[in-house]
C-alpha cells in the first residue's frame, strides 16, 4: 500500500487530452545521398558484401541518425528512472513495494547489475527518483524529480492526472537535454511496473491481455493468472479511455511516473539526433507511447535485446524491431541496453578503422 503522504488524485483523465504541452517534430533520418554513401563505404571494406550481418545495418542506421559517414559513439549514458505503482494494492507482485526504494539505495551504493555493466562499458549512469514511495532526502548521485509517492491504483481510477503525465514527460525530456553524448539508454525500477507496462501494451496494440501479462519479478502461474485478471478488469473499466486511441490518455491512465519520464526522454533524445538504446519490456512500453506520438522516433531506436518477459517479443514484432541480443534477460534496470553497447562500438569501429579494398590492395569480388 502507498504510505499516507500519497494523495489519491480524484481528477479523471478527460476524453480529449487538453494539455498545453507540445512535442517538437523529430527530424527524419532518410537522406538518399547519405544512404548511398554509407552503402559504398560499408561495401568497400575488406569483406564479402553483407558478411558482418546486423553490424552493417546497425552502423548505417547510426550514420543516418548522425548524418555522417564517420559515425561515432561518444559519452554513452544510461538513465534509470524509479517509481512506485498504486496497482501493487491488487497483490500483483512477488515482491513488496519497499524493494523499489531498497534497489535505489543499491544503485546509489554501486552494487546492482546495472552499476557493474555500466562501469564495464564506460557508460555514465544517472539515477532518478521519479516517484518512489520513500523519502531519500538529499543524496549524492540521486536526481530528485519526484512527482508523488507513487501513482494511484489504476484498477480504481487513473494512475495520474493529465497534468502530472505531461509534467513527468517534460522532466524526463529536460534530463536528456543536458547530456553531452550521442547515445542514451533508459532503465527502470518500480515494483508493479510490468503490470503497468502490460496494460499500456494492450491499450496501444490491442493484443489480448493474456499475451501481454507475464511473471514479472517471478510470479507463480497462479500469480500470473491473478495479474492477468487485474489487468483485464482494469482495462475494461477504462475502456472509454482506450477507445480514444489517444496515447497520452493511455499513459496517464495506466502508466507510472518513471514510464512517463522515459517516454518524454525518448522524444527529446530523438529531437537531438541521439541513438536511443531500447532495453526490455517496460522501456518498450514507454516507446509504444512515444512512437504513437511521433512515429519517426523508431528510426532512432536500436533494440538491444528481446526480454524473457512474456509480451516483449510481441511488442518487438508490433514495432517491426530486430533486437541485437537474445540472452533470456528479464532484470530490467537498463542492463540489456548497456550490454549491447560493445556491439554499437564494434559497428562504428569497423566503418572508421577497417581497411578498404583499395588501401589494403585486396582484389574485389569478380562480377
Task: List, by residue number, the catalytic residues.
Answer: 333
| Pairing mode, strands 77-83 and 301-303 | unpaired
Lookup: cell for 10: 480524484
User: How far is CA 131 from each of CA 84, 104, 115, 121, 367, rounded to the nearest angstrom?
Assistant: 6, 12, 21, 28, 61
The radius of gyration computed from the CA coordinates of the chain, to the nearest angstrom, equals: 21
Tell me how far apart the alpha carbons of residues 121 and 114 are, in angstroms, rounded to a whole number. 10
The separation between CA 159 and the C-alpha centre of its own chain, rounded to angstroms, equals 19
User: Do 230 and 92 contact (CB within 8 A), yes or no?
Assistant: yes
Tell me how far apart the alpha carbons of residues 178 and 181 are, in angstroms, rounded to a whole number. 9
Dihedral angle sign, alpha carbons of residues 347, 349, 352, 358:
negative
Of 20, 117, 54, which Cα lies nearest the Cα of 323?
54
DSSP state of 184: E
What's the burial of 198, exposed, middle or buried (CB within 10 Å: 0-12/13-18/19+)? buried
Q: Which residue has the cell 516507446?
A: 287
Tell me how far apart the alpha carbons of residues 314 and 307 are, in angstroms, rounded to a whole number. 11
Tell me how far apart the alpha carbons of residues 208 and 367 are, in angstroms, rounded to a whole number. 51
User: Do 115 and 338 contact (CB within 8 A), yes or no?
Assistant: no
**What one-character-per-residue DSSP string does 219-243 give?**
--HHHHHHHHHHHHHHHHHTHHHHH
Amino acid at each position: 500500500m502507498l504510505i499516507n503522504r500519497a494523495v489519491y488524485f480524484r481528477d479523471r483523465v478527460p476524453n480529449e487530452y487538453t494539455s498545453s504541452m507540445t512535442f517538437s517534430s523529430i527530424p527524419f533520418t532518410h537522406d538518399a545521398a547519405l544512404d548511398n554513401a554509407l552503402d559504398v563505404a560499408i561495401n568497400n571494406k575488406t569483406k564479402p558484401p553483407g558478411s558482418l550481418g546486423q553490424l552493417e545495418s546497425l552502423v548505417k542506421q547510426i550514420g543516418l541518425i548522425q548524418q555522417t559517414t564517420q559515425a561515432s559513439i561518444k559519452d554513452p549514458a544510461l538513465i534509470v528512472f524509479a517509481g512506485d505503482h498504486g496497482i501493487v494494492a491488487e497483490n500483483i507482485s512477488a515482491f513488496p513495494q519497499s524493494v523499489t526504494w531498497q534497489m535505489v539505495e543499491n544503485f546509489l551504493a554501486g552494487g546492482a547489475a546495472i552499476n557493474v555493466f555500466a562501469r564495464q562499458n564506460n557508460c555514465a549512469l544517472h539515477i532518478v527518483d521519479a516517484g518512489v514511495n520513500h523519502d531519500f532526502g538529499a543524496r549524492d548521485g540521486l536526481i530528485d524529480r519526484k512527482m508523488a509517492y507513487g501513482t494511484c491504483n489504476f484498477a480504481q481510477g487513473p494512475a495520474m492526472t493529465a497534468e502530472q503525465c505531461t509534467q513527468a514527460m517534460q522532466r524526463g525530456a529536460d534530463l536528456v537535454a543536458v547530456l553531452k553524448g550521442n547515445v542514451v539508454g533508459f532503465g527502470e525500477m518500480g515494483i508493479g511496473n510490468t503490470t503497468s507496462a502490460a496494460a499500456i501494451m494492450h491499450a496501444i496494440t490491442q493484443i489480448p491481455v493474456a499475451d501481454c501479462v507475464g511473471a514479472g519479478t517471478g510470479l507463480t502461474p497462479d500469480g500470473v493468472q491473478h495479474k492477468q485478471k487485474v489487468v483485464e478488469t482494469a482495462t475494461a473499466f477504462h475502456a472509454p479511455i482506450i477507445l480514444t486511441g489517444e496515447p497520452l490518455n493511455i499513459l496517464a491512465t495506466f502508466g507510472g511516473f518513471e514510464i512517463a519520464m522515459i517516454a518524454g526522454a525518448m522524444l527529446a533524445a530523438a529531437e537531438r539526433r541521439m541513438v536511443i538504446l531500447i532495453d526490455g519490456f517496460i522501456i518498450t512500453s514507454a516507446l509504444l507511447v512515444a512512437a504513437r506520438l511521433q512515429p519517426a522516433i523508431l528510426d532512432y531506436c536500436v533494440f538491444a535485446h528481446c526480454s524473457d518477459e512474456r509480451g516483449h517479443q510481441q511488442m518487438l514484432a508490433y514495432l517491426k524491431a530486430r533486437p541485437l541480443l537474445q540472452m533470456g534477460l528479464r532484470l530490467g534496470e537498463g542492463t540489456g541496453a548497456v550490454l549491447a553497447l560493445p556491439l554499437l562500438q564494434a559497428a562504428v569501429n569497423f566503418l572508421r578503422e577497417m581497411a578498404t579494398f583499395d588501401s589494403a590492395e585486396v582484389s574485389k569480388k569478380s562480377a
